[in-house]
Structure 1
Amino acid sequence: MKTFNILVIDDASMIRDLIKKFVRDYFPGAKLFDAHNGQSGKSVLLHQEIDLILCDWEMPEMNGMELLQWIRQEPRYKSKPFIMVTSRGDKEYVVEAIEAGVSDYLVKPFNRQQFAEKVERALKRHGIEGRMAIPEKTASSSLEVLTGSSSKTPTKPTASLPKGVALVRTANGAIKCAIKSLTDKQCIGIFKNEGFVPGVLDQVSVDIEFNHQGEAKVMRINGFVLGITATENKPDAQLFKVTLTLMDEDPNKHQMIDEYVSQFR
């Protein structure tokens, strides 16, 4: 396969590393570059020839939409494949990205097949032929931390969430849990088993409704399941405690978390 260059842009270092591992496993002919926000990604683009861009939306200094708009105005990159990889799957965000010239849109959390197909499609659109490699799947693969193992479409919130409740979305399903503690690194919640229980190391997107400066918003924070334990010592326990490690490193999200927590003090 012809060598090609892929730029991965995300403010969370763990997510960048996992996406890069994914690309190495499935597209061994790729040379990888990474950046922690749109501004540093722009610097890479000014100094390197890049064939495909995988970019988060919400980042400090320059977000993914601002970078996409800049790219589409640059003759050198006007037609380059640009995949927005983000937890923002609401219709208005997708429409905005399409109008700005995004090549494809991938909502976190996503499964292996969705990621691989979108990247391969984007590369072919750029004129790079050859199918992806298919590595053997292992139960403990760190790839699964990023993507999960199901092709089920992620659940999105359909109604307002009560105060103090989070919607935890995985590639396989979703749960609503009462938030017991929340910091910029960890979220602990209690949920009732209603037919779906996330797995340890499942990648998640945590939706929390938040009143920010008088305006209702939904925070979306990326992370993974660190642990799940039953709250009762019996086999038919219905209540579980879930501990989530949060991976977003965006200072704006950290500030909103602080403001959210302050409402309960």
Structure 2
Amino acid sequence: MASVSVLVVDDAPFIRDLIKKALRSHFPGLQIEEAVNGSKARQLLARTSFDLILCDWEMPELSGLELLQWFRTQSGQEKTPFIMVTSRGDRDNVVEAIKAGVSDYVGKPFSNEQLISKVRKALQRAGKLQQLRARPVATGGHAQETITSLLGSRPAPVPPTTPKPAVPVDNRTAARSTARAQLRVAGQQFACVIRSLSLRDARLVVRRGEQLPAVFDSAVLDLEQEGEQGVARINGYVHTLAALEDRMDCEWVLVTLKFVDQDPAKLEWLSMLIAEGGH
């Protein structure tokens, strides 16, 4: 192993690739290993030491929280930086992770600046940053997010109503009007209307604002079904953007979000939502 090593744990290959690309571009010489879920990561951690762990929360077989709880019981691993990378930003979840010994928290969707800022801080605290030729990176306000700030605020709630664009909704729209949706991309939140939904992707209508998502941005689609408690957070990335009218001042934009989640529970929830929409 190299002098500084990191383990990336996520069941979504796209997210793992996104993290690895960001780390390699800012930290030359960093040794990166990956695991496809918490169970595989535990096997790897049982025989190999790492200087930093970046781990998703929601994974099949063994969740990120369960991996963290096990990891902190291992000899000599009480202070190894363990950063949770997840769409779970609720206060109760953050408190639970803190009690289990999490070092820091990166909320999905994240920008490269947010991720690198947290990694740099963790390596510096562990005394490992000086061993790398870390490149400077501009950080914005979102990159300064800390556990304290997460505890002091909650994600903006899903709006009680979503805007109704003056465009026809196609015949394969899932969930009809029974699901509320919000798209989150790198610190931005967009109320949206579901135009179509499948197990692979979602086509969403969002109102054009000062900023728009960019192709290949990591994203999270929050889905809240009427009459049920809780929100399903589906991880993905922006695949395409298209104006809904043939004019430059078009107010509505069609965003295609490709899902990267492989969590069986989320796929089952999506299947039920699609079935209720008549598909």
Q: TM-score range by the shorter chain?
A: 0.7 to 0.9
* AA in 1 matched with 2:179: G
Distance in 1 separating the partners of 2:30 and 2:3: 6
Question: CA contact under 8 A between 2:109 and 2:187: conserved in structure 1?
Answer: no
Question: CA contact under 8 A between 1:64 and 1:84: conserved in structure 2?
Answer: yes
Deviation of 1:35 after TM superposition, in Å, equals 0.6
Distance in 2 separating the partners of 1:74 and 1:177: 45
My pick for the range that moved more, 68-77 or 125-134, is 125-134
Question: CA contact under 8 A between 2:223 and 2:232: conserved in structure 1?
Answer: yes
Per the alignment, residue 121 of structure 2 pairs with: 121
Distance in 2 separating the partners of 1:222 and 1:109: 8
Distance in 1 separating the partners of 2:44 and 2:260: 23
Per the alignment, residue 189 of structure 2 pairs with: 174
Deviation of 1:76 after TM superposition, in Å, equals 3.2
Identity %: 40
* AA in 2 matched with 1:189: L
Per the alignment, residue 216 of structure 1 pairs with: 229
* AA in 2 matched with 1:97: A
Other structure's SS at 1:233 match: coil
Per the alignment, residue 251 of structure 1 pairs with: 264
Per the alignment, residue 157 of structure 2 pairs with: 158
Deviation of 1:122 after TM superposition, in Å, equals 1.3
Q: How does 1:27-46 map to 2 (within 5 A)?
A: 27-46=27-46
Per the alignment, residue 17 of structure 1 pairs with: 17
Q: Please list the CA deviations of residues 101-158 of structure 1 after superposition, one character each: whole Å capped at 9, or x if unmatched.
A: 1011111122233222211221222221416522899xxxxxxxxxxx9644799332
Distance in 2 separating the partners of 1:91 and 1:238: 35
TM-score normalised by the chain length of structure 1: 0.86
RMSD: 2.4
Unaligned runs of 5+ in 1: 138-148
Distance in 1 separating the partners of 2:137 and 2:96: 37
Distance in 2 separating the partners of 1:152 and 1:16: 21
Aligned length: 251
Deviation of 1:44 after TM superposition, in Å, equals 0.6
Per the alignment, residue 133 of structure 1 pairs with: 134
* AA in 2 matched with 1:197: L
1:206 maps to 2:207? no
Deviation of 1:203 after TM superposition, in Å, equals 1.8
Cα 1:185–1:132 change in 2 (3 A) is: farther
Distance in 1 separating the partners of 2:46 and 2:160: 43
Other structure's SS at 1:124 match: helix
Per the alignment, residue 170 of structure 2 pairs with: none
TM-score normalised by the chain length of structure 2: 0.82
Distance in 1 separating the partners of 2:275 and 2:68: 35
Cα 1:192–1:166 change in 2 (3 A) is: same
Distance in 2 separating the partners of 1:75 and 1:34: 22
My pick for the range that moved more, 249-258 or 126-135, is 126-135
Q: 2:199 aligns with which of 171, 179, 184?
A: 184
Per the alignment, residue 243 of structure 2 pairs with: 230
